[in-house]
Amino acid sequence: MKFVGVTSCPTGIAHTYMAAEGLEQAARAAGHEIEVETQGSAGFEPLGPETIAAADAVIFAVGVPVRDQARFAGRPLVQADVKKAISDGPGLIARAVAAATEAQANPVAAQAGSPTQAAGGLITKVDQQASTATRVRQWLMTGVSYMIPFVAAGGILIALGFMVAQAAWGETGAVEVTKVPLTHLITGFNLLSGQDWAALLFQIGVASFGFLVPILAGFIAFAIADRPGLAPGIVGGALAVVVGAGFLGGIAAGFVGGFVALWISHWKVPKGMRGVMPVVVIPLLSVLITGLTMIVVLGRPLKALADGLASWLNGLSGANLILLGAILGLMMAFDLGGPVNKVAYTFATTGLAAATTATGGTSLKVMAAVMAAGMTPPLGLALATTVRRRLFSEAERENGQAAWLLGASFITEGAIPFAAADPLRVIPSCMLGSALTGGLVMLFGSTLRAPHGGIWVTPLISGPLLYLFAIAIGTVITAAAVIGLKAAGPGPVRTALDDAELVAV
Amino acid sequence: MSLITEKLVVLNLDSPDRHTATRVLAEALAGEGRVTDLDGFLADVRKREEQMPTGIPGGIGIPHARSAHVTEPSLVFGRSSNGIDWGAEDGPATLIFLIAAPEGGGDDHLKILAALARRLMRPAFRDSLLNAPDAAAVVDVVTREVVNA
């Protein structure tokens, strides 16, 4: 049989290596193969994922917790004190043989017995030895990797919903489709109705988008704290959505949840308590602390910020329109669906509602500027991934393909995976392009009578050619800025998702 | 730099318990200037020993520590004909290895100590130390098996 093992001890200079030797000798004597990862002070070479995947069983002979334990999830596991491998290597090998045999005879039960089973092979590639800056990037990138499928699926479904709606309702379709309640689809979905199909696609897309921030936060926390991080991260991310903190709030939730979970899981507790730590204590306390932080600490200042920005914008109404367009553009791109973006968007849609009753040419221009500025971030990044592939990770390049459609459909969130992975360089680039586009749309004087829809509502836009020209300029400028900033700094962070299609996503 | 010298070999280690035995071995390190603060170093070793005695089956004790008071990775070898209780299940230890590592030791140093730890698990290595006629022979065995391996 083939085994893998991990050995560790408090000091990391003696028992770790003696235990590894003990396991290797015992395995050889019994005619088995084993590769042992010595997590000692001399650094350690992680076992390759293929080696772990090929192992019939895993042996942990440890005095301190195994690092990156999730890598071994789902394999039959024998766990013992590090001294056991020194005093009785053959006994441990015999237990591993028994565990492997049991797993082959009864795969489901054996998996359930493995303590890390629920992580189900989720992986991160966070190098514990790397510098803090590198690890921060790897944490962010892990969250982004797992978020991208939700962005792609949700964004494309919403865009398809708009397209079908345009065909089914005519030129106001992108507006009508959002008004169809979910209950109508449950009780009266008609296979032959284009409108129903459009609403269905839209609703599923919106549901998928609902997971975007929770998954981002959850897997940032997972990268930091391993499995205990998932619950506080996901719940914290969901609360970031509730308090309107957007993806930046989600990143904060991921870090808070991850470090709280990491901290609690390192508490020294009496032996009798250890069993309930991962099941009850860690989830309970980490979720509570993270949730409290998101609602109480982050919620109030965010609300104050949103209120302040909204009244400031209303005060600007009489000012220079081009400046207003540029400011709205900056706000749209600042947090890509977060609180600042929402203030700008709400400002525009509120004006739109008023414009239907009064003569509101300015309000219609504001709406046009806001939508255009919200389209350039994903479009710009899509362009950047197309012309300079090497500056982006594989996951980002694939997201770049979807970002064309998302940007064209005014789904600003399509830029979030890029911004979350590298906020300091991506967000300023997006803001630059969006501000330019917002100002240009105001200058050209295009108006828009729909609150969303992207290029699918082009028939509702006055001066569509100049409008598209303004978007094109913002797109090119965003791409150029991103490429310039990325080329000047470190390259993309590779994640496990890039190295192998190990995770079925 | 050498992991062990003849001055770091104590062939007649006859102390009543593991803590006094450890002190005798550590004094050899201090005498060679490899430990700057004897009591500080002993406290570090004791802390590790109290987490769990480092005796292992086969009559071996391996007191050890990473300590700020250590200047270079070192091994002190002690042999006791009567044996000293080191907390192992199968009886007292006759071969004692005091391993001292500096706090911030580089990878190369730690790798030598890792190689030493692995050799301790090999019966042939233990036997040649048990039967070594003098200190020079002990240094020879360790140097051949660990440092130059």
Q: For each of the domains in chain A, give its residue range(s) and CATH number, in order of start.
A: 2-119 (3.40.50.2300)
Q: Which two tokens stand for residue A403?
A: 């970002």
- At B27, is the pLDDT very low, low, confident or very high (cuts 50, 70, 90)? very high
Residue B64 inside a domain? The answer is yes
CA distance A340 to chain B (A): 47
Helix intervals (H) in chain B: 18-31, 38-51, 107-120, 123-130, 135-142
Question: What three-state secondary structure class fits A3?
Answer: strand
Cα(A444)–Cα(A433) distance, rounded to whole angstroms?
16
Q: Between chain A and chain B, how many beta carbons pairs sit less than 8 Å apart?
A: 70
Task: Return the CATH number at B117.
Answer: 3.40.930.10
Give a three-class secondary structure readout of A115-155: CCHHHCCCCCCCCCCCCHHHHHHHHHHHHHHHHHHHHHHHH
A121: left (phi over 0), alpha (psi -120 to 50) or beta: left
CA B128 to chain CA mean position, Å: 16
Q: Which chain A residues in 83-122 lie under 8 Å from chain B, judged by CB atoms?
A: 83, 86-87
The residue segments making up the domain with residue B128 are: 6-147
Name the CA radius of gyration of chain B, rounded.
14
B100 C-beta neighbours (distance < 10 Å), count: 29
Q: What is the pLDDT of residue A36?
A: 93
A65, HSE (Cβ side, Cα atoms, 13 Å): 13
A64 in reach of chain B (CB within 8 A): no
Per-residue pLDDT of chain A (505 residues; tens, 9 = 90+): 899 999 988 888 888 989 999 999 999 999 999 999 998 776 678 888 888 888 899 999 988 888 888 888 878 888 888 888 988 899 999 999 988 888 777 654 444 334 333 334 566 656 665 677 778 888 888 888 888 888 888 888 988 898 898 888 887 787 888 888 888 889 988 888 899 999 999 999 999 989 989 999 999 999 999 889 999 999 999 999 888 888 888 999 999 999 999 999 888 888 777 778 888 889 999 999 999 999 998 888 888 888 888 888 877 766 688 899 999 999 999 988 888 888 898 888 877 777 655 545 788 889 999 999 999 999 999 999 999 988 888 888 888 988 999 999 999 989 999 998 888 999 999 999 999 999 999 999 898 888 888 888 888 888 899 999 999 999 999 999 999 998 887 655 544 344 333 333 3
Nearest to A330 by CA among A442, A403, A437, A247: A437
Cβ pair A295, A239 in contact under 8 A:
yes
Q: For A122-169, what is each residue's pLDDT tens digit?
A: 666 566 656 777 788 888 888 888 888 888 888 889 888 988 988 888
Report chain A residues whose CB lies below 8 A from the CB of B56. Answer: 18, 83, 86-87
A226: left (phi over 0), alpha (psi -120 to 50) or beta: left
B117 in reach of chain A (CB within 8 A): yes
Query: What element of type H or E holds A228?
Result: none
The dihedrals phi and psi of A43, each to the nearest 5 degrees, come to 70, 175
Measured between its terminal Cα atoms, the distance across chain B in Å is 16
Q: For B102-144, what is each residue's pLDDT tens digit?
A: 887 666 677 778 888 899 888 889 899 989 999 999 999 998 8
B110 in reach of chain A (CB within 8 A): yes
Residue B1 inside a domain? The answer is no
Number of residues that this document lists for chain A: 505
Q: What is the pLDDT of residue A114?
A: 40
Q: What is the pLDDT of residue B30?
A: 92
Report chain A residues whose CB lies below 8 A from the CB of B54. Answer: 14-15
Report chain A residues whose CB lies below 8 A from the CB of B65. Answer: 11
Cα(A10)–Cα(A100) distance, rounded to whole angstroms?
29
CB distance B66–A83 less than 8 Å?
no
Secondary structure letter of residue A40 according to DSSP:
B
Of A18, A25, A83, nearest to B117 by CB-CB distance is A18
Measured between its terminal Cα atoms, the distance across chain A in Å is 31
Cα(A256)–Cα(A144) distance, rounded to whole angstroms?
17
Cα(B23)–Cα(B96) distance, rounded to whole angstroms?
12
The dihedrals phi and psi of B81, each to the nearest 5 degrees, come to -75, -30
Task: Give the alpha-carbon dihedral of A262, A267, A273, A278, to 10 degrees.
Answer: 0
Q: Which residues contact A31 (CB under 8 A, 6 or more apart)?
A: none
Cα(A38)–Cα(A57) distance, rounded to whole angstroms?
17
Helix intervals (H) in A210-338: 212-225, 230-242, 246-265, 271-274, 282-292, 299-315, 321-335
B120 in reach of chain A (CB within 8 A): yes
Residue B80 inside a domain? The answer is yes
Mean of per-residue pLDDT scores for chain B: 88
**Amino acid, res. A234:** I
Domain count of the fold of chain B = 1
Residue B81 inside a domain? The answer is yes
